[in-house]
Structure 1
């Protein structure tokens, strides 16, 4: 009986890593950015991950704004390509080309666009848990860059349909 019990424990122990791999966190979903000003939806398409802004705390320019007419939707005003400066921020792609997460929960090889300054950076996402990710944008090497922690959210809370 003891031998069967030991064999069962060994089988279970060998099966746990594969079960854990199947349950590895994914960045696919809805994420509130660190500042709390927007929600980004990350999706997978063609084996790559990308994300777009799907909710803005303040989607329109306020009265007295120097950046745009009051009540009008905010646009990608800082884009270096003048032809793209009238694109609405709502729906704007800001993350693209990332690989699906590896065994360590890292998605790399992509680009990150910051509409606040109109610059595009190399980017990575590191899953810091099921409901937390760290987005890092950098120039040339990952040591020279900036990170932002995003929190997974329920899209219904923001009036979004999954």
Structure 2
């Protein structure tokens, strides 16, 4: 009986710790996140009262000739020679409470398009990133996993 009580107390402490980690913390999203495909990592950082993301790692960092991969699909011709590593591809997110960041834009270097975007932290190490056109109903959600603690 004593062992059961200790186990229940330990479980309660773990649950309370997880819940407190998800408490209203605008900076909880800061850190490095791996996208759902596992092909890239994005560092989310804060500038002023807004949140941004930049590509810090790619599964395929270089072209077959050894040169760094660049933003070849960018609609702006002069930007096509910029390396993908270091590219700011998430902009202008604002924390709106309840572990949600909205009002941002996400750039997809695979097709050179910008999308409206919102993020939701579902647990301390899981981030749902939803890109959409127009309204959130018409979009796609990718689940990212935290790689490096902030």
TM tier, shorter chain?
A: 0.7 to 0.9
**CA deviation after TM superposition for structure 1 residue 101, in Å:** 5.1
Aligned to 1:26: 28
Distance 1:143 1:112, change over 3 A: same
Which one has a larger percent strand, Structure 1 or Structure 2? 2
In structure 2, which of residues 128, 132, 144 is the aligned counterpart of residue 134 of structure 1?
128
Verify: 1:99 aligned to 2:101, yes or no.
no
Task: Give the TM-score of the pair, scaled to structure 1.
Answer: 0.75
**CA deviation after TM superposition for structure 1 residue 57, in Å:** 1.5
Name the CA distance, whole Å, in 2 between partners of 1:23 and 1:61. Answer: 40
Name the CA distance, whole Å, in 2 between partners of 1:48 and 1:90. Answer: 21
Gaps of at least 5 residues in structure 1 are 1-15, 63-69, 156-161
Name the CA distance, whole Å, in 2 between partners of 1:76 and 1:24. Answer: 31
Gaps of at least 5 residues in structure 2 are 1-15
**CA deviation after TM superposition for structure 1 residue 154, in Å:** 2.6
Aligned length: 131
Verify: 1:143 aligned to 2:145, yes or no.
no
Aligned to 2:9: none
**CA deviation after TM superposition for structure 1 residue 100, in Å:** 2.4
Aligned to 1:10: none
Name the CA distance, whole Å, in 2 between partners of 1:122 and 1:42. Answer: 17
Name the CA distance, whole Å, in 2 between partners of 1:146 and 1:23. Answer: 25
Distance 1:124 1:73, change over 3 A: same
Distance 1:73 1:92, change over 3 A: same
Deviates more, 1:21-30 or 1:118-127: 21-30
Aligned to 1:74: 69
What is the aligned-residue RMSD (CA, Å)?
2.1
Task: Give the TM-score of the pair, scaled to structure 2.
Answer: 0.81
Moved over 2 A (4+): 19-25
Name the CA distance, whole Å, in 2 between partners of 1:107 and 1:78. Answer: 27
- Higher-Rg structure is 1
